[in-house]
A and B are shown apart, each in its own frame.
Chain A
């Protein structure tokens, strides 16, 4: 089982990410938005945890009514330079009030963890799983932010 960072700790990952063709399995699973939209009846009866995977191309707003069904939303970063899902994470937290786990998957690097966590992402499948311990330090790169963020909803200008 692979290790991930979740809530600033290294933990065993207990989720399985199913391809659209893969047979359903017991336990915690994630599916693509396409599969969710096609099979939501069946998937609603799944007994383990259920998660959905979104990329910046996927229509976030379409799954908002279903968010209560998911314990996990996986945001895909096909390249670390593709920053669309930073906005998705913020919208999921700030606007759609999603309280479950939000995970970054794909080209997720040490140096992006600080910004990702400020946007509300709380678990990380790093592109290089060999450097997890080292990566934990990245959450403390900065002790302050000017902006209103998910971790600190009051912008600095109201606190100084």
Chain B
């Protein structure tokens, strides 16, 4: 993975010093809360219901075991001994003290981590595919490009006070595990007719109150022009984006109001001027790429091992875990292994310091010292030898990190909700736990197959409910918590927005409603037809009848 050189390290050290001084001035009354707000937000610090919340950037999800150990240590020393992974591959600490934050940032800087631009109206952490580099279907590894974008976007002097937050995601294969169509800019590495690899550029996707799927602004961008094209989009948006209404300030609204064709004309006109100045040279691309070379795989890992097949045959539980929680690898004899942070009864995405330390040890032992966070709030080891899977499974299982539920109903994406967040209208975590506990029968879960529930506690939609196969949105009605269901959304290559099921459901019927939806699916599906495919084929009405008929 990428390693800081003296330039990178100096800049984040200077950032820590700058924020230490800003915090000091705020605590001394020299900065008002209003003046301090954007400064702390650009260092990932929110003020929440109970305490500040600190969001730390994990660039495109990659962490070394050393970094994971530091996260564990910081969470134990300055927080309550756990952290929460988010849908943008970052993690959050929910209980730090404001005056400790400069020290926390200094600790993180010592292992090349930071909270820069993890919040605020600026360019946020660049995210990517958690299987980047190991996926057999990849056109090109997106991580060097994500790192190049990280550096360009970090402390960009022109784009620190944008109309609204700005999120970029980049993937290197047709499978979209980073929800790129729902980002302000989505980048897909693609091959053109001549066989050259470049970027398809999408713009104007986003979730929240007005979910919109991004539109193509350029079908093919040469790789060397990546930064100039991004800069052109950002400059057009910085000038044109609305600043009179924060709900209309995202670039998705700018694109909708002006039309993609007009935006494209403006961007291309701007781009002509800056293209040469920001042209990436080979030397820089090679410099970054050298950090993302393949680890030393054992090329006979498949042939030299027979234990794996035997264990799969002997141990049903292990076989189930392998089937559900591991993914194919481009090198024969290796698999990618998901660490489930979705054990029923626990808050989705949460992990304790003790578990983090085990995760770090296992990374060293089994996966070249690295682990990644995923868009779905889990972790993944990308390079595990098949002969090591059984040992790894036993160790993960002992830490409650091996629930075989990746991509099943109980792999719920959930925001912190009313329990933590100052914006939320309704609780989300307790109901997610309720759903996970109700449907904990593994045979049933695996029979249901791939079902993505996304559960947000308010319209801001941090859990991306509008693109859940089942989306659940908490709303406040006269002081009571109600829940709006949508069906048929997807954040992947076939991205679509869910359709409303019907009127909102009271809190105590949420889990039953999920049960009715599942019953309907089982009755109505064709053999092997997924939930999403079934909803797309028959529409929401049959589900609606089932759910609302059950009222009577």
Would A114 and B157 be within 8 Å (CB), given that A87-B238, A160-B7, A160-B287 are in contact?
yes
Stretch at the interface among A3-11, A19-27, A31-39, A78-86: A78-86
Determine whether A90 belongs to the interface, using a CB cutoff of 8 Å to chain B.
Answer: yes
Determine if B156 and A147 form an interchain contact, defined as CB atoms under 8 angstroms apart. Answer: yes
Q: Which of A90, A141, A144, A147 has the most CB of B within 10 A?
A: A147
> What is the CA–CA distance of A87 and B277 in the complex, to the nearest angstrom?
16
Shortest Cβ distance from residue B269 to the other chain A in the assembled complex, whole angstroms? 11
Would A160 and B5 be within 8 Å (CB), given that A81-B121, A111-B22 are in contact?
yes
> What is the CA–CA distance of A78 and B450 in the complex, to the nearest angstrom?
50
Q: Chain A residues near B148 (CB, 8 Å)?
A: 157
Would A156 and B239 be within 8 Å (CB), given that A118-B157, A142-B14, A143-B14 are in contact?
no
- Give the total number of A-B pairs whose CB atoms are below 8 A apart: 97
Determine whether B540 belongs to the interface, using a CB cutoff of 8 Å to chain A.
Answer: no
Q: Which of B10, B152, B155 has the most CB of A within 10 A?
A: B155
Q: Mark A71-103, 1 if CB is under 8 A from B, else 0.
A: 000000000111110110010001100000000
Within 8 A of A (CB), among B143-198: 148, 151-152, 154-162
Q: Chain B residues near A115 (CB, 8 Å)?
A: 155, 157-158, 160
Shortest Cβ distance from residue A22 to the other chain B in the assembled complex, whole angstroms? 28
Would A155 and B278 be within 8 Å (CB), given that A146-B154, A146-B155, A160-B7 are in contact?
yes
Q: Chain A residues near B162 (CB, 8 Å)?
A: 83
Q: Chain B residues near A52 (CB, 8 Å)?
A: none
> What is the CA–CA distance of A125 and B358 in the complex, to the nearest angstrom?
54
Which residue on B lies nearest to A160, using beta carbons? B7
> What is the CA–CA distance of A160 and B158 in the complex, to the nearest angstrom?
22
Within 8 A of B (CB), among A95-127: 95, 109, 111-112, 114-116, 118-119
Determine whether A133 belongs to the interface, using a CB cutoff of 8 Å to chain B.
Answer: no
Would A87 and B239 be within 8 Å (CB), given that A115-B157, A115-B160, A147-B152 are in contact?
yes
Determine whether A145 belongs to the interface, using a CB cutoff of 8 Å to chain B.
Answer: yes
Would A86 and B7 be within 8 Å (CB), given that A109-B35, A158-B281, A158-B284 are in contact?
no
Determine whether A148 belongs to the interface, using a CB cutoff of 8 Å to chain B.
Answer: yes
Within 8 A of A (CB), among B24-74: 30, 35, 38-39
Q: Chain A residues near B159 (CB, 8 Å)?
A: 83, 86
Shortest Cβ distance from residue B124 to the other chain A in the assembled complex, whole angstroms? 15
Would A148 and B278 be within 8 Å (CB), given that A81-B161, A86-B238 are in contact?
yes
Q: Chain B residues near A65 (CB, 8 Å)?
A: none
Q: Chain A residues near B478 (CB, 8 Å)?
A: none
Q: Chain A residues near B158 (CB, 8 Å)?
A: 83, 86-87, 90, 115, 119, 147
Q: Chain B residues near A109 (CB, 8 Å)?
A: 35
Which residue on A lies nearest to B273, using beta carbons? A95
Shortest Cβ distance from residue B15 to the other chain A in the assembled complex, whole angstroms? 8
Determine whether A149 belongs to the interface, using a CB cutoff of 8 Å to chain B.
Answer: yes
Within 8 A of A (CB), among B238-285: 238-239, 243, 273-274, 277-278, 280-281, 284
Determine whether B11 belongs to the interface, using a CB cutoff of 8 Å to chain A.
Answer: yes
Q: Mark B281-324, 1 if CB is under 8 A from A, else 0.
A: 10010010000000000000000000000000000000000000
Contact of A146 among B39, B151, B281 (CB under 8 A): B151
Which residue on A lies nearest to B161, using beta carbons? A83
Determine if A119 and B157 form an interchain contact, defined as CB atoms under 8 angstroms apart. Answer: yes
Q: Chain B residues near A94 (CB, 8 Å)?
A: 274
Would A153 and B277 be within 8 Å (CB), given that A82-B243, A83-B161, A119-B157 are in contact?
yes
Determine if A141 and B157 form an interchain contact, defined as CB atoms under 8 angstroms apart. Answer: no
Determine whether B18 belongs to the interface, using a CB cutoff of 8 Å to chain A.
Answer: yes
How many B residues touch the partner, as a band?
35 or more
Shortest Cβ distance from residue A46 to the other chain B in the assembled complex, whole angstroms? 30
Q: Chain A residues near B22 (CB, 8 Å)?
A: 111
Q: Chain A residues near B39 (CB, 8 Å)?
A: 111
Which residue on A lies nearest to B14, using beta carbons? A142
Determine if B10 and A144 form an interchain contact, defined as CB atoms under 8 angstroms apart. Answer: yes
> What is the CA–CA distance of A84 and B151 in the complex, to the nearest angstrom?
22
Q: Which of B121, B159, B239, B278 has the most CB of A within 10 A?
A: B239
Determine whether B235 belongs to the interface, using a CB cutoff of 8 Å to chain A.
Answer: yes
Q: Chain B residues near A84 (CB, 8 Å)?
A: 238-239, 243
> What is the CA–CA distance of A114 and B100 in the complex, to the nearest angstrom?
25
Q: Mark B118-152, 1 if CB is under 8 A from A, else 0.
A: 00010000000000000000000000000010011
> What is the CA–CA distance of A85 and B161 in the complex, to the nearest angstrom?
10
Determine if B161 and A86 form an interchain contact, defined as CB atoms under 8 angstroms apart. Answer: yes
Which residue on B lies nearest to A118, using beta carbons? B157
Shortest Cβ distance from residue B33 to the other chain A in the assembled complex, whole angstroms? 14
Determine if B287 and A82 form an interchain contact, defined as CB atoms under 8 angstroms apart. Answer: no
Determine if B277 and A83 form an interchain contact, defined as CB atoms under 8 angstroms apart. Answer: no
Determine if B10 and A146 form an interchain contact, defined as CB atoms under 8 angstroms apart. Answer: no
Q: Which of A90, A111, A115, A148 has the most CB of B within 10 A?
A: A111
Determine whether A49 belongs to the interface, using a CB cutoff of 8 Å to chain B.
Answer: no
Q: Chain B residues near A148 (CB, 8 Å)?
A: 277-278
Determine whether A129 belongs to the interface, using a CB cutoff of 8 Å to chain B.
Answer: no
Contact of A80 among B38, B278, B287 (CB under 8 A): B38
Which residue on A lies nearest to B37, using beta carbons? A81
Which B residues have a C-beta under 8 Å from some C-beta of A?
Answer: 5, 7, 10-11, 14-15, 18, 22, 30, 35, 38-39, 121, 148, 151-152, 154-162, 227, 235, 238-239, 243, 273-274, 277-278, 280-281, 284, 287
* Sample of 18 more A-B contacts, CB < 8 Å, known A141-B14, A147-B157: A82-B243, A83-B121, A83-B162, A83-B238, A86-B238, A87-B238, A90-B235, A111-B35, A111-B39, A146-B155, A147-B155, A153-B277, A155-B152, A156-B7, A157-B148, A157-B284, A160-B5, A160-B287
29 pairs across A/B with beta carbons < 8 Å? A80-B38, A81-B38, A83-B158, A84-B238, A86-B159, A86-B238, A87-B238, A87-B239, A90-B158, A90-B235, A115-B155, A115-B160, A131-B30, A141-B18, A142-B15, A142-B155, A143-B10, A144-B11, A145-B157, A146-B11, A146-B152, A147-B152, A147-B156, A155-B227, A156-B151, A157-B148, A157-B151, A157-B287, A160-B7
